[in-house]
Amino acid sequence: MENVSELQVEKTPIPGLLVVRIPVHEDSRGWFKENWQRTKMAALGLPDFGPVQNNVSFNSTRGTTRGIHAEPWDKYVSVASGAVFGAWVDLREGPTFGTVYSTTINPSVAVYVPRGVGNAFQTLEDATAYSYLVNDHWSAEATGEYTFLNLADPASPIPWPIALDSAEVEMSDKDRSHPELSGVVPMPPRKVLVLGANGQVGRALRKHAEAHGRTDLDFLTRAECDLWDGHCFDGIRWSAYRAVINAAAFTAVDGAETDEGRTRAWAVNAAAMARLAQVAAEHRVTVLGFSSDYVFDGETEVHTEDEPLSPLGVYGQSKAAGDVALQSVPQHYIVRTSWVIGEGANFVRTMKNLCERGVRPEVVDDQVGRLSFAQDLAAVALHLLDGDAPFGVYNVSSSGDPVSWADIAADVFASVGGNRDAIRPVTTSQYFEGRDGVAPRPAHSTFDLSKIRATGFEPADWRLRLDEYLRA
């Protein structure tokens, strides 16, 4: 048994497959090791994979051979006694499909095996206890996602210390009959689940996936998962997903000021996010939620990500509460945005229709910000989930000069052949004079975009996007 003085984590030719060299302390009584030490190992690059079960396979005789099995969870393999020759084959979709790695595992060596990498071992000593931690519980449903490879596959040759046709080798008939590499269906990556698939951002995410040939997004509409329902998340097999995007919300700003609306806003925007946070943390799923400029009172002209929350109305308060809940998830992104424009009813469509009908509308001119187009919010969501940006809150809107709603309305009228002067600017108080149940609006909704730009995402100018939107 080779030993090291300090804990070490080494990469292998299979991405994500890591060899851990563990200090073993020996004396006349035997030996001791820290087989799994979360803090030290995570600091050296081992994923903090959240094991939930520890299994031990005791093998009576040398030559016992098991595998090659690729399972839909991560595991950490080691021995408590004896030694094994371990072999791994990458059975995931991608350029390293079929790559082989092997090494000897004794008490001073352990191996972290990511989801989809085929695992096999052959015992080198009698009375070998092979141990493995896994980060999901076995279920009959999950067995349908297993992938197997023949131990003697010629396309992925493994240098077994004891020849597989030796009388010394014991292996199951099932392991002998697994397919060769040419007959293996690669294990696909875990997917991204989108909630609120029929909303403006949800539809944009669907279009983005179709345009880029992405099949790794699953979509649930409100009919399939209504956040108003406390059991909405029951029955979703979360182990199949690496991330969830919540594109659903209660967005009736004025409606939230009513008794019924207040209840719904808090249920959907806050309570459901607390439940989603619990589920995401439990299953180690990255969660991405969309926030709003309404979480601020609008007194600050340009909002940064670290500005304290200061919502004025029920809608903003419920969204702020949802943000706080999602921030409890270790792996979270919150995309804070404003003035969203996409498919469906929105301000730009309303102004276009009014122009075509010859109406001269009153539009407020004392609320200032930028439009945010759903197509860009969809792109930035996947940019964050697919990249290596630090978890946290990101402000996202279109770029360009901040303007008022009246300015945008005038641009819409001019773009569709109307007269800019048809827009009648008014203050917010004038616009809502005499109306009951009106939610307070933030006067300033402009975001500082430097943090999202630092990740490599450059927001498009809102005027460019507006022109494209009106010409579509």
Asked if 209 and 297 sit in the same domain, the reply is yes
* Mean pLDDT, residues 354-361 taken together: 96
**pLDDT reading at 142 higher than 70:** no
Asked if 102 and 247 sit in the same domain, the reply is no
Q: What is the pLDDT of residues 143-183, one digit of tens each?
A: 667 899 999 999 999 999 999 999 999 999 999 999 999 99
Asked if 178 and 195 sit in the same domain, the reply is no
User: What range does the domain containing 137 cover?
Assistant: 8-183
Domain boundary (183, 199, 229) is at: 183
- Work out how many domains the chain is built from and give that number: 2
CATH of the domain at 276: 3.40.50.720
Our CA dihedral for 389, 392, 395, 397, rounded to 10 degrees, sits at 60
Asked if 154 and 243 sit in the same domain, the reply is no
Q: How confident is the model at residue 235 (pLDDT cuts 50, 70, 90)?
A: confident
Q: What is the pLDDT of residues 275-311, one digit of tens each?
A: 999 999 998 999 999 999 999 999 999 999 999 999 9
Asked if 92 and 201 sit in the same domain, the reply is no
Asked if 177 and 240 sit in the same domain, the reply is no
**Domain assignment present for 2:** no
Q: What is the pLDDT of residues 305-319, one digit of tens each?
A: 999 999 999 999 999
CA 325 to chain centre: 16
Asked if 125 and 234 sit in the same domain, the reply is no
Asked if 62 and 209 sit in the same domain, the reply is no
Task: Calculate what percentage of the chain has a pLDDT beyond 90.
Answer: 92
| Cα separation, 225 vs 162, whole angstroms | 53
Asked if 198 and 166 sit in the same domain, the reply is no
Which tokens belong to 60? Answer: 């009576």
Asked if 131 and 206 sit in the same domain, the reply is no
Domain boundary (183, 212, 243) is at: 183
Among all residues, which ones are annotated catalytic?
69, 132
CATH of the domain at 111: 2.60.120.10
pTM of the model: 0.87
**Domain assignment present for 360:** yes
Q: What is the pLDDT of residues 26-41, one digit of tens each?
A: 999 999 999 999 999 9
**pLDDT reading at 140 higher than 70:** no
Residue (of 15, 68, 70, 73) closest to 186 by Cα position: 70
Domain boundary (113, 148, 183) is at: 183
Asked if 436 and 355 sit in the same domain, the reply is yes
Strands (E), 94-216: 100-105, 109-113, 117-123, 128-134, 147-148, 191-195
**Domain assignment present for 3:** no
Collapsing DSSP states into helix, strand and coil, what is residue 373?
Answer: strand
Q: Tell me the backbone φ, ψ of residue 463, rounded to 5 degrees.
A: -70, -40
**Domain assignment present for 393:** yes
Q: How confident is the model at residue 137 (pLDDT cuts 50, 70, 90)?
A: confident
